[in-house]
Structure 1
Amino acid sequence: MPPLPVNLQRIKSDILALAEIGRDPVDHGIYRMAFTDADMEGKRWLTDQIEAAGLTHSTDGAANISTKIEGVSDAPEILVGSHIDTVPCAGALDGTLGVIVGLECLRCIREAGLSLERSIELVAFSDEEGRFGGMFGSQSVCGEVNPEKLATMTDMNGVRLEDELRRHGLDPMGALDAARNPESIEGYLELHIEQGPVLDRIGKPVGIVDEITGLFTWSVRFKGEANHAGTTPMDMRNDAFMGLADFAHEIPRILDENGSDRSRATIGKAQILPGATNTVPGLVEFSLDVRDTSENVLDELSTAFRKALSAIARRRHLMFEFQQKSYIAPVQCSGKMIEVLTRQSRLLGLDSNTMPSGAAHDAQIMGRMVPVGMIFVPSKGGQSHSPSEWTAWKDIEAGANLMLNTLIQLAN
């Protein structure tokens, strides 16, 4: 059987239509954060497209939207999906592309009248982007949500997830019923923009993900002594900012000695207090985001960063403390999925690149429960989480064709 092609014009139309929901006319960014009115409008748009394709849809207790092509057997099904919620001032493709391409794959299979052994189900997960902590939809499917967690999930403005769900007529406790039986799922496949520069720079149309990075984030404080900038000699200062400066310069050494070529460490946010131009800083608070595809490497980096912070604090006569804000374990993609994706890319004449994912995705959560695979398509200039985010249509078509024909093979 020759490869089945997607309809690129339908994909284009869907991407451009959904991009208008939550679009700001001033900065041109998309504001479709989880469980906002715009997000719920986006969910309604998606169900309309599913119905227009002649498919049925359902919504679980976590507000995940699903539709499927039924297989002829009751064998475990193949899941495909991503998310349509966004960060503030987002681009048109992050998450959305995987949902739209997944729907296009089901449309193509239905129109071709293919008989599949296994069912293929599309899932559009809720709150991947983290308004309420992230991955709420896929965590619910994996049974990782409990009543205590539901009761304590809030956004940065203190809005409770429970209240937001009720505002839209949803029962928060329904998320507990969204959990799936792992034995009912053969595997999960996700298509996503790379959100980095690698594929764009090497000129390859698709990436096949072998590992999804794990990460931990810390909130760190150096406490010294605020004092007068003019009257306190340099050798008598307990300058909290100098502790941060020393630590920032230690990061490359720590990665070289304890990390791997897939390690990343970032200080993305810092606050200097009291924040006056004529005062020696007495307190510095900053974030530390550390990533690697190996759990052992993450453990080694955690130890090395703690030792470095402690040594700097002693040397600078500071106190330091840290709090781990999050931890996500790395996930290995399924060897079978990688093999099928690699074979299909060759059959389609696509030059693929095997690579890690440096960002977290719903596939990372699903990978705790079932085998997973991921397809990347290039991000122009490596840009994402901004209105500049874009992927060439020919690359979107290539990734979509790879997704479609891989799903057909996996389902048979």
Structure 2
Amino acid sequence: MSSLQPQINIARLEKLLDDFAQIGKTKNGGVTRLTLTSLDKQARDLLIQISQSAGFKVQVDAIGNIFIRREGLKDLPVVMTGSHGDSQPKGGRYDGIYGVLAGLEVLLTLNDYNIQTNHPIELVMWTNEEGSRFAPAMMGSAVFTGKLDLDQAYAIKDQDGITVKQALEDIGYLGNAKIANQSIKAIIEAHIEQGPILEQQNQTIGIVKGAFAQRWYEVTLTGLAAHAGTTPVNMRQDAVVGLSESVTALNRLALHPDSKDIRLTVGMITVSPNSRNVVADHCFFTIDLRHYDSELLANFETLIYAQLSEIAEKLNLKLEIKKVLSMPSIHFDLNCITSVRKAAIKNNYSAIEMVSGAGHDACHLSSIAPTSMIFIPCIKGISHNEAESITTSWCKAGADVLLDTLLELSQ
């Protein structure tokens, strides 16, 4: 065993990131690599090729999650790391894949220094974290943790009617490894922050103590279609007016000081009949609601229902609200958080504790094993965007902290 203090190879890590960024590269420097497509297959194949060449054991489970194991000296519970390789349409080149390749770099570094850990370390590339082709998001980790039934996941279809199972078969990643029941000591996921806090506060490492609770709603307002030229404005049941008043009212609620920085987004809107000279009789929109305090979120839900009901009644519209997702806030493991903090201090990186506003595979995984996350900044907080970017120093810092965190947990 080497007596040298191991150091990650930043040149190799950046080369890995650049190589994977070529798979699905967009003209503006981002990535479109939707889950279970031929491009996703290319990224998976490359990861496996590098891992097998380094002597690591590779297995694929029934939902296509890829498990890459560096064996330990003893038959002990595994220490896991990893993230996802799929992207949003015209997404960034670091979201998800940074955590996979930083984990791979850690395993390669341990090989470089001939360091043997007591516990095995397992790198995982989780299937369909983004949910942009198949909903729900975080599918691979949901199946792995038993939160989503495998057959139910298999039956989910994309917009072209292709099922998840067919897509797995098409790219050759319908695996059969039985991994879900193995004993896990800890799980650490590295990821870009996807927000501006670390950069704004001039911090290098985010020690993630949990994740926001999330609730999603689908709202339908139904009025009466009418001729744009012959129907007086004060005699209309205009669903678009209801939509505009609803969005404005919701934004006002979210900005209220009592809302304590709640995150509310109306992200999808459809209008019918969507004709320039017809008063709309139907509007559909979605609400994405997030906060770390689940009780505050529940109270805010009551305000949403009351506000939308008031608007619908005033405009003589029929209102339907359907809650389609309810995820509690996530509180990560204190020992894992402490390990990340110690690694940041050891490497002399500035760090703050923070809560993730985004969902990650780690959120599902925390239900079955001690878990935490490591965040690094991204420039201007931009993510899910072709302009997503990180610096070399941030890239190295995240991998350094991941290396020392995994070393402590695996010894």
User: What range describes the TM-score normalised by the shorter chain of this pair?
Assistant: over 0.9
CA distance in 1, matches of 2:336, 2:362: 13
Query: Per the alignment, in what secondary structure is the counterpart of residue 68 of structure 1?
Result: strand
SS in structure 2 opposite 1:285?
strand
Aligned in 2, Cα 1:167/1:252: closer, same or farther, shift over 3 Å? closer
Say which is worse superposed, 135-144 or 285-294, in terms of deviation. Answer: 135-144
Over aligned residue pairs, what C-alpha RMSD do you find? 2.2
Structure 2 counterparts to residues 129-208 of structure 1, below 5 A: 129-130=130-131, 131-133=133-135, 134-171=137-174, 174=176, 177-181=178-182, 184-208=183-207
Q: CA contact under 8 A between 1:260 and 1:292: conserved in structure 2?
A: no
Counterpart of 2:388, as a letter, is E
C-alpha distance in 2 between matches for 1:258 and 1:371: 35
Deviations along 1:319-376, one digit per CA (max 9) or x if unpaired, are 0112233333321111112222122212211111211111111101101221211111
How many angstroms does 1:217 deviate by? Answer: 1.7
Tell me the secondary structure at the aligned position of residue 111 of structure 2. helix
8 Å contact from structure 2 (residues 61, 174) kept in 1: no
Q: What is the letter of the counterpart of residue 99 of structure 1? A: V
1: CA distance between counterparts of 2:277 and 2:174?
A: 53
**1:257 Cα deviation from its structure 2 partner:** 6.4
Question: Structure 2 CA distance, aligned partners of 1:46 and 1:368?
Answer: 27
- Name the counterpart of 1:273: 272
In structure 2, relative to structure 1, the CA distance for the partners of 1:16 and 1:260 (3 Å cut) is same
Task: State how far apart, in whole Å, the 1-side matches of 2:180 and 2:110 are.
Answer: 27
Displacement of 1:222 after TM fit?
Answer: 0.6
Identical aligned residues as a percent: 30
Cα contact 1:35–1:164 (8 A) shared by 2: yes
The CA deviation at 1:269 is 1.7
Contact 1:224/1:240 (8 A) holds in 2:
yes
> Deviation of residue 105 (structure 1)?
0.7
Is the contact made by 2:37 and 2:171 (CA closer than 8 Å) also made in structure 1? no
Q: Secondary structure at the match of 1:179?
A: coil
CA distance in 1, matches of 2:224, 2:29: 45
Counterparts in 2 of 1:369 and 1:298: CA distance versus 1, 3 Å: farther
Query: 1-side partners of 2:242 and 2:98: how far apart?
Result: 43
Corresponding position of 1:317: 316
Aligned partners of 2:302, 2:256: CA distance in 1, in Å?
12
Give the superposition deviation at 1:150: 3.0
Structure 2-normalised TM-score?
0.92
Match of 2:100 in 1: 99
Query: Which residue of 1 is the match for residue 53 of structure 2?
Result: 52
Q: Kindly provide the amino acid, as one letter, of the partner of residue 15 in structure 2.
A: S
Q: Structure 1-normalised TM-score? A: 0.92
Aligned counterparts of 1:252 and 1:129: Cα–Cα separation in 2: 26
Name the residue aligned to 2:326.
327
Q: 1:256 to 1:19 in 2, by over 3 A?
A: closer
Q: Name whichever of 142-151 and 90-99 sits farther off.
A: 142-151
Give yes or no for contact 1:143–1:178 (8 Å, CA) kept in 2: no
Q: How far apart are 1:2 and its partner, in Å?
A: 7.8
2:158 maps to amino acid: D
Distance 1:5 1:262 in 2: 39
Distance in 2 of aligned mates of 1:370 and 1:334: 9
Q: Which residue of 2 aligns with 1:16?
A: 18
* Separation (CA, whole Å) in 2 of partners of 1:208 and 1:146: 32
Higher mean Cα deviation, 304-313 or 64-73? 64-73
Which residue, out of 5, 8, 13, partners 1:6? Answer: 8
Aligned-pair CA distance for 1:258: 9.7
Residue pair 2:198, 2:376 contacting (<8 A) in 1 also: yes
Residues 322-331 or 373-382, more deviating:
322-331
- What is the alpha-carbon distance in structure 2 between the residues aligned to residue 411 and residue 92 of structure 1? 29
For 1:397, the equivalent position in structure 2 comes to: 396
Distance 2:297 2:4 in 1: 44
5+ unaligned residues in a row in structure 2: which ranges? none
* Residue type at the aligned position of 1:166: E
**Residue 338 of structure 2: SS of its match in structure 1?**
helix
Question: Contact (CA 8 Å) 1:258, 1:300: kept in 2 or not?
Answer: no
Q: Which moved more, 1:29-38 or 1:373-382?
A: 29-38
SS at match of 2:82: strand
CA distance, structure 2, for counterparts of residue 157 and residue 262 of structure 1: 38
Q: How far has the Cα of 1:295 moved from its partner?
A: 2.7
Q: SS in structure 1 opposite 2:314?
A: helix
Provide the C-alpha distance between the structure 1 equivalents of 2:205 and 2:100, rounded to a whole number of angstroms.
17
Q: 2: distance between equivalents of 1:63 and 1:276? A: 43
Give 4+ residue runs of structure 1 displaced > 6 Å after superposition. none
**Structure 1: which 5+ residue stretches go unaligned?**
none
Pairing 1:374-385 to 2, within 5 Å after superposition = 374-385=373-384
> 372-381 vs 273-282, which deviates more?
273-282
State the distance in 2 between where 1:157 and 1:259 align: 44
